Amino acid sequence: MKFIVIGAGVIGVTTAFFLRLRGHEVAVIDRREGPGRETSFANGALLTPSMPEPWNAPGSWRALLGSIGRSDAPLQLRLKAIPSLAGWGPRFLMNSRRPAFERNCVSNLKLALYSHEAMESVREATSVDYSRRTTGTLKVFRNAAALYRATAWADQLSGHGLTFRKLSRTDTVALEGALAPIAGQLAGSIHYEIDEIGDACRFCTALTGQLLQEGVEFRFSTTVTSFEVSGGRVTAVLCGRERFSADSYVVAACSYSTPLLSPLGMYLPVRPAKGYSVTFDCLPGRRELRVPIVDDDCHAAVVPIGNALRVAGTAEFTGYDLTPSAARVEKLVRLLREILPEGHYDPSSARPWCGLRAMSVDGVPIIGRTSVSNVFVNTGHGHLGWTMAAGSGGLLVDVILGASPAIDAAPYDPQRFA
């Protein structure tokens, strides 16, 4: 069979990989000049089964309402985005009720753990190098009560396969010496050893190179403008005057999947949430950060990635506007100074970035067959796209080919919104 995959970010290229692995003909179309140039470009670089929580946690409605007009809020709702969230927004908040939130957390965790295994199969079948490190992540707490609650929650998730170690202040600094300057502020930490680091954009580029050698076709700088439909099936994608046909089609265009599928009469409950990062060059001769730091109070992650240091965090609902907010960039720089006051990074080398994460209405990815029989979707991963990429690609291909998936596909099925 021949497949066309729309989108060459981490979700699209891993889907193409698993399709090609099963022996199918694959073409990938992306509007940018190369792979991984949108949401995958400068994300947090963390593959974190330890962070399965959707953003619509219990009480998130208070945080969102309180964020209006505040540029320093970790999760911000901008007034201009409210009309685009009509219908979607109330359902997003309904899923913040405790039973729904916990159920969705478990669904995310299962897919993240499965993806951890699937990524191993990608590495075994290819020679991709993406600056992988396996030191886990260290989630630090400045408040004993917050540490207690987080430990209780981690213990609850351990029943579904998540492993962790609770560390004292002393053990925290012993594991990551760069935290010594703020040791007096710390109540302790949780070390999630299963978590990893990897450069998502580098992964996309390397895997694309591998797939090109195996006969996968890539068309970059090519924008899908519409679909050709006949007899209730898509017969081609149209890119301006160009026409590309296949037997089946996979839409893996992150938050842009929603407007792409709308002309086919599909309502995809996914909205964009803008995330930020700032990347710095490391100064030679300084102590290197060994373990990525997730600061619970600062709502930010500091990640060593190659010869650089990246701080990522905060998000805002502002529609498809990719204009960077200087205030939010400065907030990340300020948070980095708070976490690593004696850091090894070069402030003059700061490279800010923002990208649109695809946020599903329940915080769980949307993976499977759509109402059009030969169109499939793989999107809605929120902040966990990189974490879940390999598992999502493998799961979708199992669904497409009618194979028995390694995990239950029902929690991710698009038809759950029917």
Three-state secondary-structure class, residue 114: helix
Q: Where are the beta strands (DSSP E) in 67-208?
A: 75-77, 137-141, 165-167, 188-192, 196-197
The length of the chain, given as a count of residues:
418
Q: Phi/psi class of residue 8: alpha, beta or left (left: φ > 0; alpha: ψ in -120 to 50)?
A: alpha
Q: What confidence tier does 196 reach under pLDDT thresholds 50, 70, 90?
A: very high
- Of 128, 112, 294, nearest to 198 by C-alpha is 128
Mean pLDDT of 362-390: 97
Q: How far is CA 93 from CA 145, 166, 247, in A?
A: 26, 31, 38
Residue ranges of domains in the chain, CATH in brackets: 2-136+194-417 (3.50.50.60)
What are 77-118's pLDDT values in tens digits? Answer: 766 677 778 888 889 889 999 999 999 999 999 999 999 999
Question: Residues of the chain with pLDDT > 90: what percent?
Answer: 81
| Amino acid letter, 74 | P
Where does the pLDDT of residue 344 fall: very low under 50, low under 70, confident under 90, or very high at 90 and above? Answer: confident
- Closest by CA to 12, choosing from 229, 313, 220, 285, is 220
Residue 368 pLDDT exceeds 80: yes
What pTM does this model have? 0.95
Confidence of residue 74 (pLDDT cuts 50, 70, 90): low
Q: Which amino acid is at 305?
A: I
Are 357 and 363 in contact by the 8 Å Cβ rule? The answer is no
Summarize pLDDT for 14-31 with one digit per residue, the tens.
999 999 999 999 999 999
